[in-house]
Amino acid sequence: MKSKLYIVSTPIGNYEDITLRALRILKECDFVICEEFKEARRLLSHYKIQKELFSINEHNENENANDLILKLLEGKTAALISDCGTPLFSDPGHLLVDLAIQNKIDVIPVPGASSLLTALVGSGLDFEKFYYYGWLSPKKDIRRKQLYDLRRIKETIVLLDTPYRLKTLMEDIVKLLGADVPCVLAFELTKENEKFYRGNAENILNIVDREKLKGEFVLIIKNQ
């Protein structure tokens, strides 16, 4: 039997967003490679799927990837999932995929939910061309330099950060990119309290401050 590594996208918040193909692969594969056991068990339990789980994350990928490749080379199939959304996008698993390709294991993406595209299509901004910057540094000085350097990119720019740094991020954007820079804050996507906040950086900072917003988000800015 040919070894296969499926890269399976899972919902980013709403369990109804999983695809029929993803459910079939998760049911049929020999084992599941996840980011965190707790999140994976919650997901699989919701769909009444029981599978042996193995972990790949930023702390253990170098140690675990070779062992997982050896299991696959026995002719087994595995599904790689992240905590939510599309694996490998700002998530671990790159080493595992590289090793799979080197060992002629079929790598098969199973497309599905992605916070990046969900935010862009709901933003109302022109994103025929966009610049995905992704996660900013948690260190204040480095993060501010990163934002300062983004001033030269005159495109729609996508940024990610943790919920507790949202207010600080908006303050830095107002200071470094300008209060009038157009922004869209895509907040808690696909969840019950999903909301798109549209305006300029100062408007959105005021909303974040007033409403004490704290949750998962994607921030899109439009440098002029």
The structural domains of the chain, ordered by start, are: 4-110 (3.40.1010.10), 115-222 (3.30.950.10)
Beta strand 182-187 pairing with 217-222: antiparallel
Look at 128 and 8; give whichever has higher pLDDT: 8
Tens of pLDDT, residue by residue over 6-50, are 999 999 999 999 999 999 999 999 999 999 999 999 999 999 999
What integer pLDDT is reported at residue 58 of this predicted model?
86
Name the pLDDT band for 1 (thresholds 50, 70, 90): low
What integer pLDDT is reported at residue 104 of this predicted model?
96
Nearest alpha-carbon partner for 160 in 78, 217, 99: 217
Name the pLDDT band for 91 (thresholds 50, 70, 90): confident
The answer to whether the CB of 158 falls within 8 A of the CB of 217 is no
Q: Which two tokens stand for residue 144?
A: 């501010």
Q: Is 39 exposed, middle or buried (0-12, 13-18, 19+ CB in 10 A)?
A: middle
Q: Give the DSSP letter string of 172-197.
A: HHHHHT-TTSEEEEEESTTSTT-EEE
Position of tokens 């090793």? Answer: 99
The per-residue pLDDT of the chain, averaged, comes to 95
- Pairwise CA distance, residues 154 & 182, whole Å: 12
Quote the pTM value.
0.90
Side chain identity, residue 97: V
Name the pLDDT band for 109 (thresholds 50, 70, 90): very high
Phi, psi (rounded to 5 degrees) for 14: -105, 115
SS3 state at 32: strand
The answer to whether the CB of 189 falls within 8 A of the CB of 121 is no
The answer to whether the CB of 33 falls within 8 A of the CB of 55 is yes
146: part of which helix (H) or strand (E)? helix 140-149
**Length of the chain as a residue count:** 224
